[in-house]
Structure 1
Amino acid sequence: MKTIVIAAQKGGAGKTTLARNLAVAASQDGRDVLCLDLDPQGSLRAWWEGRDADAPSMLDRDPAPDVLRATLNAAQAQFDLCIIDTPPAAPEWLAEALGAADLVLIPVRPSPDDLRAVGATLAAVNAARVPFAFALSQTPRAKITDEAARVLAQHGRVAPVNIAQRVSYAETGATGQGVTETTDDKAGAEIAAVWDYVKGILDG
Protein backbone atom coordinates (compact mmCIF):
# COMPACT_ATOMS: atom_id res chain seq x y z
CA MET A 1 0.00 0.00 0.00
CA LYS A 2 1.24 3.46 -0.93
CA THR A 3 0.55 6.43 1.32
CA ILE A 4 0.03 10.04 0.24
CA VAL A 5 0.01 12.78 2.86
CA ILE A 6 -1.57 16.11 1.88
CA ALA A 7 0.16 18.82 3.90
CA ALA A 8 0.26 22.61 3.99
CA GLN A 9 0.61 24.69 7.12
CA LYS A 10 -1.19 27.59 5.41
CA GLY A 11 -4.95 27.48 5.87
CA GLY A 12 -7.13 27.50 2.78
CA ALA A 13 -4.50 25.97 0.51
CA GLY A 14 -6.91 23.33 -0.79
CA LYS A 15 -5.72 20.24 1.09
CA THR A 16 -9.11 18.63 1.57
CA THR A 17 -10.22 19.46 -1.97
CA LEU A 18 -7.11 17.76 -3.32
CA ALA A 19 -7.46 14.78 -0.96
CA ARG A 20 -11.05 13.96 -1.81
CA ASN A 21 -10.68 14.46 -5.55
CA LEU A 22 -7.52 12.39 -5.79
CA ALA A 23 -9.19 9.67 -3.74
CA VAL A 24 -12.13 9.52 -6.16
CA ALA A 25 -9.89 9.60 -9.24
CA ALA A 26 -7.69 6.82 -7.86
CA SER A 27 -10.76 4.75 -7.01
CA GLN A 28 -12.07 5.20 -10.55
CA ASP A 29 -8.67 4.01 -11.75
CA GLY A 30 -9.13 0.71 -9.96
CA ARG A 31 -7.26 1.43 -6.72
CA ASP A 32 -8.68 0.38 -3.36
CA VAL A 33 -8.38 3.69 -1.54
CA LEU A 34 -8.54 4.45 2.17
CA CYS A 35 -8.92 8.05 3.33
CA LEU A 36 -7.80 9.20 6.77
CA ASP A 37 -8.79 12.60 8.14
CA LEU A 38 -6.30 13.85 10.74
CA ASP A 39 -7.63 17.43 10.60
CA PRO A 40 -9.74 18.20 13.70
CA GLN A 41 -12.10 20.19 11.46
CA GLY A 42 -13.16 16.87 9.92
CA SER A 43 -13.98 18.26 6.47
CA LEU A 44 -12.86 15.15 4.59
CA ARG A 45 -14.98 12.88 6.78
CA ALA A 46 -17.99 15.19 6.48
CA TRP A 47 -17.67 15.02 2.69
CA TRP A 48 -17.36 11.24 2.78
CA GLU A 49 -20.40 10.86 5.07
CA GLY A 50 -22.45 12.74 2.46
CA ARG A 51 -21.29 10.42 -0.30
CA ASP A 52 -23.43 7.74 -1.96
CA ALA A 53 -20.66 5.68 -3.59
CA ASP A 54 -18.83 2.94 -1.70
CA ALA A 55 -15.36 4.05 -2.73
CA PRO A 56 -13.11 5.50 -1.48
CA SER A 57 -13.32 4.01 2.00
CA MET A 58 -12.95 5.43 5.48
CA LEU A 59 -12.68 3.72 8.84
CA ASP A 60 -15.43 3.99 11.43
CA ARG A 61 -13.16 6.40 13.26
CA ASP A 62 -9.99 8.15 12.19
CA PRO A 63 -6.91 7.12 14.16
CA ALA A 64 -5.20 9.20 16.78
CA PRO A 65 -1.80 10.29 15.50
CA ASP A 66 0.05 8.01 17.93
CA VAL A 67 -1.53 4.91 16.37
CA LEU A 68 -1.26 6.08 12.75
CA ARG A 69 1.53 3.65 11.90
CA ALA A 70 -0.38 0.72 13.38
CA THR A 71 -3.48 1.75 11.42
CA LEU A 72 -1.51 1.90 8.18
CA ASN A 73 0.06 -1.48 8.86
CA ALA A 74 -3.37 -3.01 9.47
CA ALA A 75 -4.71 -1.48 6.23
CA GLN A 76 -1.93 -2.96 4.08
CA ALA A 77 -3.82 -6.15 3.32
CA GLN A 78 -7.01 -4.45 2.17
CA PHE A 79 -6.00 -1.24 0.41
CA ASP A 80 -3.68 -0.18 -2.42
CA LEU A 81 -3.54 3.48 -1.48
CA CYS A 82 -4.07 5.62 1.61
CA ILE A 83 -4.62 9.38 1.35
CA ILE A 84 -4.19 11.35 4.56
CA ASP A 85 -5.55 14.87 5.08
CA THR A 86 -3.74 16.95 7.73
CA PRO A 87 -4.52 20.18 9.57
CA PRO A 88 -3.32 23.65 8.57
CA ALA A 89 -0.86 23.72 11.45
CA ALA A 90 2.31 22.03 12.68
CA PRO A 91 1.41 19.82 15.64
CA GLU A 92 4.22 17.71 17.06
CA TRP A 93 2.78 14.55 15.53
CA LEU A 94 2.90 15.92 11.97
CA ALA A 95 6.45 14.61 11.60
CA GLU A 96 5.14 11.11 12.29
CA ALA A 97 2.52 11.44 9.57
CA LEU A 98 5.01 12.86 7.09
CA GLY A 99 7.44 10.07 7.87
CA ALA A 100 4.81 7.48 6.95
CA ALA A 101 4.35 8.93 3.46
CA ASP A 102 5.54 7.55 0.17
CA LEU A 103 4.71 10.99 -1.23
CA VAL A 104 3.77 14.32 0.35
CA LEU A 105 1.64 16.61 -1.79
CA ILE A 106 1.79 20.29 -0.90
CA PRO A 107 -1.04 22.37 -2.38
CA VAL A 108 -0.11 26.04 -2.79
CA ARG A 109 -2.22 28.95 -3.95
CA PRO A 110 -0.38 31.36 -6.27
CA SER A 111 -0.22 34.31 -3.92
CA PRO A 112 2.70 36.04 -2.19
CA ASP A 113 1.33 35.10 1.24
CA ASP A 114 1.06 31.43 0.33
CA LEU A 115 4.49 31.33 -1.26
CA ARG A 116 6.03 32.90 1.85
CA ALA A 117 4.21 30.42 4.08
CA VAL A 118 5.31 27.31 2.18
CA GLY A 119 8.75 27.41 3.80
CA ALA A 120 7.52 25.91 7.06
CA THR A 121 5.87 22.97 5.31
CA LEU A 122 8.93 22.46 3.13
CA ALA A 123 11.20 22.40 6.17
CA ALA A 124 9.03 19.76 7.84
CA VAL A 125 8.98 17.60 4.72
CA ASN A 126 12.72 17.88 4.24
CA ALA A 127 13.27 16.96 7.88
CA ALA A 128 11.16 13.83 7.33
CA ARG A 129 13.26 12.98 4.23
CA VAL A 130 10.32 11.86 2.13
CA PRO A 131 9.53 12.56 -1.54
CA PHE A 132 7.24 15.52 -2.16
CA ALA A 133 5.66 17.56 -4.93
CA PHE A 134 3.87 20.88 -5.07
CA ALA A 135 0.44 21.28 -6.65
CA LEU A 136 -0.76 24.75 -7.55
CA SER A 137 -4.38 25.12 -6.48
CA GLN A 138 -7.17 27.67 -6.93
CA THR A 139 -5.21 29.14 -9.80
CA PRO A 140 -6.40 32.10 -11.87
CA ARG A 141 -5.45 32.45 -15.52
CA ALA A 142 -2.91 35.13 -14.72
CA LYS A 143 0.81 35.83 -14.78
CA ILE A 144 1.09 35.21 -11.04
CA THR A 145 0.30 31.50 -11.56
CA ASP A 146 3.27 31.04 -13.87
CA GLU A 147 5.49 33.04 -11.53
CA ALA A 148 4.44 30.88 -8.57
CA ALA A 149 5.29 27.73 -10.51
CA ARG A 150 8.76 29.08 -11.25
CA VAL A 151 9.36 29.95 -7.59
CA LEU A 152 8.20 26.54 -6.37
CA ALA A 153 10.28 24.72 -8.99
CA GLN A 154 13.40 26.09 -7.30
CA HIS A 155 12.55 24.00 -4.24
CA GLY A 156 11.15 20.80 -5.73
CA ARG A 157 8.99 19.29 -8.42
CA VAL A 158 5.69 20.89 -9.33
CA ALA A 159 2.71 19.01 -10.74
CA PRO A 160 2.45 19.96 -14.42
CA VAL A 161 -1.29 20.54 -14.20
CA ASN A 162 -2.81 23.39 -12.16
CA ILE A 163 -6.00 23.00 -10.16
CA ALA A 164 -7.99 26.04 -11.25
CA GLN A 165 -10.44 28.13 -9.26
CA ARG A 166 -13.72 26.45 -10.25
CA VAL A 167 -17.17 26.43 -8.66
CA SER A 168 -17.44 22.65 -9.06
CA TYR A 169 -14.69 22.06 -6.49
CA ALA A 170 -16.78 23.83 -3.85
CA GLU A 171 -20.06 22.31 -4.99
CA THR A 172 -18.78 18.74 -4.81
CA GLY A 173 -17.61 19.37 -1.27
CA ALA A 174 -21.30 19.61 -0.40
CA THR A 175 -22.60 16.80 -2.61
CA GLY A 176 -20.10 14.11 -1.63
CA GLN A 177 -18.74 13.80 -5.16
CA GLY A 178 -15.41 14.20 -6.87
CA VAL A 179 -15.23 16.50 -9.87
CA THR A 180 -14.42 13.49 -12.07
CA GLU A 181 -17.96 12.31 -11.31
CA THR A 182 -19.60 15.52 -12.54
CA THR A 183 -20.26 17.18 -15.90
CA ASP A 184 -17.42 19.67 -15.34
CA ASP A 185 -15.08 18.16 -17.89
CA LYS A 186 -12.34 20.74 -17.38
CA ALA A 187 -12.13 20.11 -13.63
CA GLY A 188 -12.34 16.37 -14.21
CA ALA A 189 -9.49 16.51 -16.70
CA GLU A 190 -7.36 18.51 -14.25
CA ILE A 191 -7.78 15.99 -11.45
CA ALA A 192 -7.31 13.02 -13.76
CA ALA A 193 -4.05 14.56 -14.96
CA VAL A 194 -2.86 15.26 -11.42
CA TRP A 195 -3.66 11.66 -10.47
CA ASP A 196 -1.72 10.39 -13.49
CA TYR A 197 1.24 12.50 -12.39
CA VAL A 198 1.04 11.25 -8.80
CA LYS A 199 0.58 7.66 -9.96
CA GLY A 200 3.71 7.98 -12.05
CA ILE A 201 5.71 9.01 -8.99
CA LEU A 202 4.26 6.27 -6.77
CA ASP A 203 4.65 3.51 -9.33
CA GLY A 204 7.89 4.87 -10.75
Structure 2
Amino acid sequence: MKTLVITAQKGGAGKTTLARNLAVAAAQDGQRVLALDLDPQQSFRAWWRGRESDAPMMLADDPAPHALRATLEAALGRFDLVVIDTPPAAPSWLTETLRAADLALIPVRPSPDDLRAVGATIAALGAAGVPFAFVMSQTPRAKLTDEAVRVLAQHGRIAPVNIAQRVIYAETAATGQGVTETGDTKAAQELAAIWEYVKGLIE
Protein backbone atom coordinates (compact mmCIF):
# COMPACT_ATOMS: atom_id res chain seq x y z
CA MET A 1 0.00 0.00 0.00
CA LYS A 2 1.24 3.46 -0.92
CA THR A 3 0.41 6.70 0.85
CA LEU A 4 0.13 9.97 -1.04
CA VAL A 5 -0.11 13.26 0.86
CA ILE A 6 -1.28 16.47 -0.81
CA THR A 7 0.23 19.44 0.97
CA ALA A 8 0.68 23.19 0.56
CA GLN A 9 0.84 25.81 3.27
CA LYS A 10 -0.65 28.40 0.89
CA GLY A 11 -4.44 28.48 0.82
CA GLY A 12 -6.20 28.19 -2.52
CA ALA A 13 -3.39 26.24 -4.18
CA GLY A 14 -5.73 23.48 -5.31
CA LYS A 15 -4.93 20.72 -2.80
CA THR A 16 -8.43 19.31 -2.51
CA THR A 17 -9.01 19.54 -6.25
CA LEU A 18 -5.85 17.53 -6.85
CA ALA A 19 -6.62 15.04 -4.07
CA ARG A 20 -10.11 14.16 -5.22
CA ASN A 21 -9.28 13.97 -8.90
CA LEU A 22 -6.21 11.79 -8.35
CA ALA A 23 -8.24 9.53 -6.05
CA VAL A 24 -10.86 9.08 -8.78
CA ALA A 25 -8.28 8.54 -11.54
CA ALA A 26 -6.48 5.94 -9.42
CA ALA A 27 -9.75 4.14 -8.66
CA GLN A 28 -10.59 4.09 -12.37
CA ASP A 29 -7.17 2.55 -12.93
CA GLY A 30 -8.11 -0.39 -10.73
CA GLN A 31 -6.54 0.81 -7.48
CA ARG A 32 -8.36 0.25 -4.20
CA VAL A 33 -8.26 3.83 -2.91
CA LEU A 34 -8.88 5.16 0.59
CA ALA A 35 -9.35 8.93 0.89
CA LEU A 36 -8.60 10.71 4.17
CA ASP A 37 -9.44 14.35 4.87
CA LEU A 38 -7.27 15.88 7.60
CA ASP A 39 -8.25 19.44 6.69
CA PRO A 40 -10.70 20.81 9.31
CA GLN A 41 -12.68 22.42 6.48
CA GLN A 42 -13.57 18.86 5.30
CA SER A 43 -14.02 19.89 1.64
CA PHE A 44 -12.77 16.50 0.42
CA ARG A 45 -15.38 14.69 2.53
CA ALA A 46 -18.16 17.08 1.50
CA TRP A 47 -17.36 16.30 -2.15
CA TRP A 48 -17.30 12.56 -1.42
CA ARG A 49 -20.75 12.70 0.21
CA GLY A 50 -22.10 13.94 -3.12
CA ARG A 51 -20.71 10.98 -5.05
CA GLU A 52 -22.82 8.20 -6.51
CA SER A 53 -19.84 5.83 -6.59
CA ASP A 54 -18.29 4.36 -3.45
CA ALA A 55 -14.81 4.52 -4.98
CA PRO A 56 -12.63 6.05 -3.69
CA MET A 57 -13.71 4.92 -0.25
CA MET A 58 -13.84 7.02 2.90
CA LEU A 59 -14.16 5.85 6.49
CA ALA A 60 -17.17 6.79 8.61
CA ASP A 61 -14.95 9.42 10.21
CA ASP A 62 -11.50 10.74 9.38
CA PRO A 63 -8.84 9.90 11.95
CA ALA A 64 -7.42 12.45 14.33
CA PRO A 65 -3.85 13.22 13.22
CA HIS A 66 -2.36 11.30 16.17
CA ALA A 67 -4.35 8.21 15.09
CA LEU A 68 -3.23 8.32 11.46
CA ARG A 69 -0.55 5.63 11.83
CA ALA A 70 -3.05 3.20 13.34
CA THR A 71 -5.52 3.95 10.54
CA LEU A 72 -2.87 3.27 7.89
CA GLU A 73 -1.87 0.03 9.59
CA ALA A 74 -5.51 -1.08 9.62
CA ALA A 75 -5.77 -0.25 5.90
CA LEU A 76 -2.88 -2.57 4.94
CA GLY A 77 -4.11 -5.35 2.70
CA ARG A 78 -7.45 -3.66 2.12
CA PHE A 79 -6.23 -0.76 -0.03
CA ASP A 80 -3.56 -0.11 -2.65
CA LEU A 81 -3.43 3.67 -2.25
CA VAL A 82 -4.28 6.17 0.48
CA VAL A 83 -4.76 9.80 -0.59
CA ILE A 84 -4.55 12.32 2.25
CA ASP A 85 -5.65 15.95 2.01
CA THR A 86 -4.09 18.32 4.55
CA PRO A 87 -4.88 21.87 5.74
CA PRO A 88 -3.34 25.03 4.22
CA ALA A 89 -1.27 25.58 7.35
CA ALA A 90 1.52 24.00 9.37
CA PRO A 91 -0.05 22.50 12.51
CA SER A 92 2.27 20.73 14.93
CA TRP A 93 1.13 17.31 13.72
CA LEU A 94 1.86 17.92 10.04
CA THR A 95 5.46 16.66 10.13
CA GLU A 96 4.35 13.29 11.51
CA THR A 97 1.67 13.07 8.81
CA LEU A 98 4.24 13.83 6.13
CA ARG A 99 6.52 11.11 7.49
CA ALA A 100 3.78 8.58 6.81
CA ALA A 101 3.86 9.40 3.09
CA ASP A 102 5.58 7.54 0.30
CA LEU A 103 5.22 10.71 -1.79
CA ALA A 104 3.98 14.25 -1.23
CA LEU A 105 2.52 16.42 -3.97
CA ILE A 106 2.64 20.21 -3.75
CA PRO A 107 0.11 22.01 -5.96
CA VAL A 108 1.37 25.49 -6.87
CA ARG A 109 -0.40 28.26 -8.76
CA PRO A 110 1.82 30.31 -11.08
CA SER A 111 1.70 33.47 -9.01
CA PRO A 112 4.43 35.37 -7.14
CA ASP A 113 2.54 34.87 -3.86
CA ASP A 114 2.41 31.10 -4.32
CA LEU A 115 6.05 30.87 -5.35
CA ARG A 116 7.11 32.87 -2.29
CA ALA A 117 5.03 30.64 -0.01
CA VAL A 118 6.31 27.32 -1.35
CA GLY A 119 9.57 27.52 0.58
CA ALA A 120 7.84 26.72 3.88
CA THR A 121 6.27 23.59 2.41
CA ILE A 122 9.59 22.44 0.95
CA ALA A 123 11.24 22.98 4.35
CA ALA A 124 8.57 20.91 6.09
CA LEU A 125 9.02 18.08 3.61
CA GLY A 126 12.78 18.25 4.00
CA ALA A 127 12.42 17.97 7.78
CA ALA A 128 10.18 14.94 7.33
CA GLY A 129 12.50 13.36 4.76
CA VAL A 130 9.71 12.78 2.24
CA PRO A 131 10.16 12.69 -1.55
CA PHE A 132 7.93 15.21 -3.31
CA ALA A 133 6.91 16.65 -6.64
CA PHE A 134 5.21 19.87 -7.68
CA VAL A 135 2.01 20.02 -9.71
CA MET A 136 1.24 23.28 -11.47
CA SER A 137 -2.35 24.23 -10.65
CA GLN A 138 -4.92 26.61 -12.15
CA THR A 139 -2.50 27.54 -14.92
CA PRO A 140 -3.38 30.10 -17.59
CA ARG A 141 -1.67 30.13 -20.96
CA ALA A 142 0.83 32.79 -20.07
CA LYS A 143 4.55 33.44 -19.67
CA LEU A 144 3.97 33.46 -15.93
CA THR A 145 3.33 29.71 -15.99
CA ASP A 146 6.59 28.98 -17.82
CA GLU A 147 8.50 31.23 -15.44
CA ALA A 148 6.98 29.47 -12.42
CA VAL A 149 8.03 26.09 -13.82
CA ARG A 150 11.61 27.34 -14.20
CA VAL A 151 11.66 28.57 -10.60
CA LEU A 152 10.21 25.38 -9.16
CA ALA A 153 12.53 23.17 -11.21
CA GLN A 154 15.40 24.49 -9.10
CA HIS A 155 13.81 22.89 -6.03
CA GLY A 156 12.46 19.55 -7.22
CA ARG A 157 10.52 17.50 -9.74
CA ILE A 158 7.50 18.93 -11.53
CA ALA A 159 4.67 16.93 -13.06
CA PRO A 160 5.00 17.12 -16.87
CA VAL A 161 1.33 18.12 -17.25
CA ASN A 162 -0.33 21.17 -15.69
CA ILE A 163 -3.81 21.43 -14.23
CA ALA A 164 -5.24 24.20 -16.37
CA GLN A 165 -7.71 26.85 -15.28
CA ARG A 166 -10.99 25.14 -16.24
CA VAL A 167 -14.58 25.60 -15.05
CA ILE A 168 -15.04 21.81 -14.90
CA TYR A 169 -12.93 21.61 -11.74
CA ALA A 170 -15.35 23.86 -9.86
CA GLU A 171 -18.38 22.13 -11.36
CA THR A 172 -17.24 18.67 -10.28
CA ALA A 173 -16.61 19.94 -6.76
CA ALA A 174 -20.39 20.34 -6.55
CA THR A 175 -21.41 17.14 -8.37
CA GLY A 176 -19.17 14.67 -6.54
CA GLN A 177 -17.35 13.66 -9.71
CA GLY A 178 -13.78 13.59 -10.88
CA VAL A 179 -13.01 15.32 -14.16
CA THR A 180 -12.07 11.93 -15.63
CA GLU A 181 -15.74 10.95 -15.17
CA THR A 182 -17.04 13.85 -17.25
CA GLY A 183 -17.18 14.69 -20.93
CA ASP A 184 -14.41 17.29 -20.64
CA THR A 185 -11.77 15.49 -22.67
CA LYS A 186 -8.94 17.95 -22.07
CA ALA A 187 -9.37 17.96 -18.29
CA ALA A 188 -9.70 14.18 -18.26
CA GLN A 189 -6.52 13.77 -20.29
CA GLU A 190 -4.48 16.07 -18.08
CA LEU A 191 -5.58 14.34 -14.87
CA ALA A 192 -5.02 10.87 -16.33
CA ALA A 193 -1.51 11.96 -17.34
CA ILE A 194 -0.78 13.35 -13.87
CA TRP A 195 -1.97 10.09 -12.30
CA GLU A 196 0.32 8.08 -14.60
CA TYR A 197 3.23 10.32 -13.55
CA VAL A 198 2.42 9.92 -9.86
CA LYS A 199 1.98 6.17 -10.23
CA GLY A 200 5.42 5.97 -11.79
CA LEU A 201 6.92 7.83 -8.81
CA ILE A 202 5.31 5.71 -6.10
CA GLU A 203 5.81 2.34 -7.78
**TM-score normalised to the size of structure 2?**
1.00
Partner of 1:187: 187
Partner of 1:116: 116
Partner of 1:71: 71
Q: How many residues align?
A: 203
SS in 1 for 2:137: strand
Partner of 1:106: 106
Partner of 1:82: 82
SS in 1 for 2:138: strand
Q: CA–CA distance in 2 between the matches of 1:116 and 1:174?
A: 31
SS in 2 for 1:104: strand
SS in 1 for 2:171: helix
Name the % identity: 76
Q: CA–CA distance in 2 between the matches of 1:69 and 1:185?
A: 38
Q: CA–CA distance in 2 between the matches of 1:187 and 1:195?
A: 12
Residue 77 of structure 1: how far off its partner (Å): 1.6
Partner of 1:11: 11
Partner of 2:31: 31
Residue 37 of structure 1: how far off its partner (Å): 0.1
SS in 1 for 2:115: helix
What per-residue deviation string (whole Å, max 9, x for no partner) do you get for residues 111-148 of structure 1?
Answer: 00000000000000011011100000000000000110
Residue 97 of structure 1: how far off its partner (Å): 0.7
Matched, 1:159 2:173: no
Q: CA–CA distance in 2 between the matches of 1:150 and 1:70?
A: 39
What amino acid is aligned across from residue 147 of structure 1 in structure 2? Answer: E
Residue 54 of structure 1: how far off its partner (Å): 1.4
Consecutive unaligned residues in structure 2, runs of 5 or more: none
Q: CA–CA distance in 2 between the matches of 1:72 and 1:96?
A: 13
**TM-score normalised to the size of structure 1?**
0.99
RMSD across aligned positions (CA): 0.4
What amino acid is aligned across from residue 149 of structure 1 in structure 2? Answer: V
What amino acid is aligned across from residue 137 of structure 2 in structure 1? Answer: S
What amino acid is aligned across from residue 80 of structure 2 in structure 1? Answer: D
Residue 51 of structure 1: how far off its partner (Å): 0.3
Residue 27 of structure 1: how far off its partner (Å): 0.2
SS in 2 for 1:35: strand
Residue 184 of structure 1: how far off its partner (Å): 0.4
Partner of 1:134: 134
